[in-house]
Structure 1
């Protein structure tokens, strides 16, 4: 009888259900949300969104609402329709989608309406005739952050992926051309270049660091996430490799405003993170006057 009772108890026991992404608190313990007094900007490669259909739409909307930042730059948005569905699940936010006609490689922005406003007619694509250096033309847009009364130029970037000499050369060409553009056309603006740079920023030679031209001009440019890049791999933005390849580059006038930079590590709160969301993690910078 005792054996039978034990068998019944074991056979009826169920594994706990995974946390539902529809629960608004599912990510609460894994994020540091934005604040009304700061300009909080994030970049996130969402890996062919929606990676796993509608559940990815719900999960991403829940994560972004929990992060509660003012601006999110997204890379690899495969479906404009699902992007728009996600925005409907995020009251108080609005979106800007840019279709580059390249399957899953589209770029997009999400803005918190109470904190930001898009400057009219300020959006444009850059380097549209240079597919070698920029296979996905960068998406530029100007916003004004209402609490700080600060106008910022955002450039959403997704550079050529992968290793190999030619791919490294293409990223190096992109870095040179991007810096020339910023030096000549955006010198008087506050600029945030953010996205999937597809390379690390800690190398000390141009052969191993395509972005050394920015690092060698510290008066005008700073990678806000450099301390993360130099730190523990546990907090890097691309954990599967692991490497830190998602970056936020600031022009000099914004550097004194940096309060903190962080990577959102949400998988402990949501075990299906890699299945339903992405193989990347969001990177966030917080600016404060």
Structure 2
């Protein structure tokens, strides 16, 4: 009995680590995290709960959530007011899922898209979360693309892994442009391929060559391998892509591969044995006093901002922070968006 108690206390000590505070009350904080075959160990939840409770985050887009009961237990044991969404609650397969901190986020709805094309997505159709943060609407699209392949794109083979990822990207681009033309869209997940391949083999070329999208983590992909998201076979395959409506916010953002293994006793071996083979990729849009629609930069969204933007419109003056729909001009539509943000 005493030996069991000592072992239990020792393991609890090993689990209890200090992790960095990544987010803040002034920023939209989120990350994509493939938690391999979740839960891969009976102590997996203990680790993940400890991590989430310390890093100060608003939304986590998970991949490979296999067990609904374990996921429910995870959500229920987090500090604060959290809710979990899983694409298929009755499935034992690795499902796309979200953990959301309702203290900061208002959920509109969660749903799958492109179900008719799920072959290309390895039968894991993209999982959308529509939400509101500080009065602004956002769309997040969680993905887990087809894995593996030989690194060469074969346009004549529909079963080619790279080809399936290529089509997945093209389908997503078309869907986002058609369905969310003026929304702030975040596409993220385990996309299972590199951003830096040559054009002829690059499955992301449609996005990389577009003026409407930007890979927020491109600098990571193009940087040192020690900061990549998949350390076991060094590669950076977990990505965050943003639409042009977020380009200005991107100027006040931070993105990093959260190297959880750096904070664990046993390092990468402990991380791989108990948590996952993927590291999470974290991003924050740091608004501070630059709240969207806060035209006079006083840290609040109120009638004074309406007056400020009306004066800009009447004076035919352009201000990028007042261009609420990012159409390159200031007009009554921008005024309406500011008013709606205040009312919401």
Kept after mapping to 2: 8 A contact 1:49/1:104: no
2:83 is paired with a residue of what secondary structure?
strand
Is residue 78 of structure 1 aligned with residue 66 of structure 2?
yes
Deviation at 1:141, TM superposition (A): 1.5
> What aligned pairs does 1:148-227 form with structure 2 within 5 A after superposition?
149-164=135-150, 165=154, 166-205=160-199, 207-217=200-210, 219-227=211-219
Consecutive unaligned residues of structure 2, counting only runs of 5 or more, are: 1-9, 155-159, 288-344
- Residue of structure 2 aligned with 1:50, choices 31, 39, 52: 39
Aligned counterpart for 1:249 among listed residues 241, 252, 275: 241
Cα distance, 1:241–1:100 mapped onto 2, change above 3 Å: farther
Does the 8 Å CA contact 2:85/2:110 hold for their aligned counterparts?
A: no
- Find the partner of 2:105 among 116, 120, 138: 116
CA distance in structure 2 between the aligned counterparts of 1:39 and 1:123, rounded to whole angstroms: 18
Q: Return the index of the structure with the highest Cα Rg.
A: 2
Question: Hey, what's the Cα distance between the residues in 2 that align with 1:287 and 1:150?
Answer: 13
Q: Does 1:143 align with 2:143?
A: no
Structure 1, residues 26-63: CA drift from partner, whole Å, max 9, x if none? 142xx34200000011000000111102x101111111
Partner of 2:117: 130
Which secondary structure does the structure 1 equivalent of 2:263 belong to?
coil
Where in structure 1 do 4 or more consecutive aligned residues deviate above 6 Å? none
With over 3 angstroms needed to count, the CA separation of the structure-2 counterparts of 1:215 and 1:81, relative to structure 1, is: same
Cα 1:288–1:216 change in 2 (3 A) is same
Tell me how far apart the structure 2 counterparts of residues 145 and 187 of structure 1 sit (CA, whole Å). Answer: 19
Alpha-carbon distance between aligned partners in 1 of 2:127 and 2:166, rounded to the nearest angstrom? 19
Displacement of 1:22 after TM fit?
4.8
Kept in 2, the 8 Å contact 1:21–1:62? The answer is no
Q: Which has the higher contact order (CA 8 A, sep 6+)?
A: 1
- How far the C-alpha of 1:139 sits from its partner, in A, is 0.5
Q: Secondary structure at the match of 2:242?
A: strand
Which of 218, 225, 233 is the matching residue for 2:225? 233
Q: Determine the C-alpha separation between the residues in 1 that align with 2:14 and 2:39.
A: 14
Q: Secondary structure at the match of 1:267?
A: helix
What TM-score does the superposition give when structure 1 sets the normalisation length?
0.86
1:68 aligned to which of 56, 61, 85: 56
Task: State how far apart, in whole Å, the 2-side matches of 1:247 and 1:282 are.
Answer: 10
**Shift of residue 288, structure 1, vs aligned partner:** 2.4
Map Cα deviations across residues 246-267 of structure 1 (whole Å, 9 max, x no partner). 0000001112212110111011
- Residue segments in structure 1 that go unaligned for 5+ positions in a row: 1-16
